[in-house]
Amino acid sequence: MIIEQIPVGAFQMNSYIVGCEETKEAIYIDPGAEVDRVIDTARGLGLEFTQIIGTHAHLDHAEGAQEAKEKLGIPYRIHEAEMYNLQHMPDAARMYGFPEPPVPGVDGFLVPGETLTVGHLTFEIRLTDGHAPGNITLYQPSVGEEPGHAIVGDALFAGSIGRTDLYKGDASTLLEAIRTQLLTLPSDTVVHPGHGPETTIGREAETNPYCQPGAEKYL
């Protein structure tokens, strides 16, 4: 598996290129700002995007979705519960004083419990809500020597968790999702968050205050 993290735009949101080494097909995860840079990087790696996925549809994670769809001519999918956030991106942009992005059409929905395939790679789709109602995690279990990988959107960060004061955010829902959907993964699973550096499930389980029993007291 090829995975490339590209922090983009004012929010330094991590777009990800996830590609199959054998077929060279790739997923564009979270099309935010700097779409051209992400497309160029994928080409440089010899990869061809075949689908665009949103972990969720906050402005920073979806502002480039329409541009990416037009430039690549491939489908864009999110969890259905993110349609509100997607449609309200222009309002969010106005609040920050940013130019309003076009609202992209959605070509299908990601359903937790189902799998997502690119080339020879298969990911489980897990619901990690609480930061956003349809924030999904893509999880690929360990293969041979290669540890598992979890692309978690804004559910879990190195040393922290996503904010819960936005539309349908809920702190106890988020802690519960982290406990049941992420902390249950093998400890060497590499976590690829929507902002900041990569980490592992084991490191967060040990050191992240929000991953400790009774973390509700920090909310």
Residues near Zn ion (CB under 5 A) = 58, 60, 154, 194
What's at 9, amino acid-wise?
G
Q: Using an 8 Å Cβ cutoff, are 119 and 106 in contact?
A: no
Q: How far is the CB of 156 from Zn ion (least distance, A)?
A: 12
Q: Where are the beta strands (DSSP E) in the chain?
A: 2-8, 13-19, 25-29, 48-53, 76-77, 115-118, 121-127, 136-140, 149-153, 156-157, 160-161, 190-193, 199-200
Q: How far is the CB of 141 from Zn ion (least distance, A)?
A: 25
Residue in this structure with the two tokens 């790739």, named with its chain if needed: 26
Measured from the CB atom, is 121 or 178 closer to Zn ion? 178
Measured from the CB atom, is 59 or 106 closer to Zn ion? 59
Q: How far is the CB of 61 from Zn ion (least distance, A)?
A: 5
Measured from the CB atom, is 42 or 92 closer to Zn ion? 92
Measured from the CB atom, is 14 or 50 closer to Zn ion? 14
Residue 10 and residue 197: Cα distance in Å, rounded?
16
Measured from the CB atom, is 19 or 194 closer to Zn ion? 194
Q: How far is the CB of 59 from Zn ion (least distance, A)?
A: 8
User: Cα angle at 138 between 133 and 143, to 5 degrees?
Assistant: 160
Residue nearest to Zn ion (CB): 58
Rg (CA), the chain: 16
Q: How far is the CB of 202 from Zn ion (least distance, A)?
A: 24
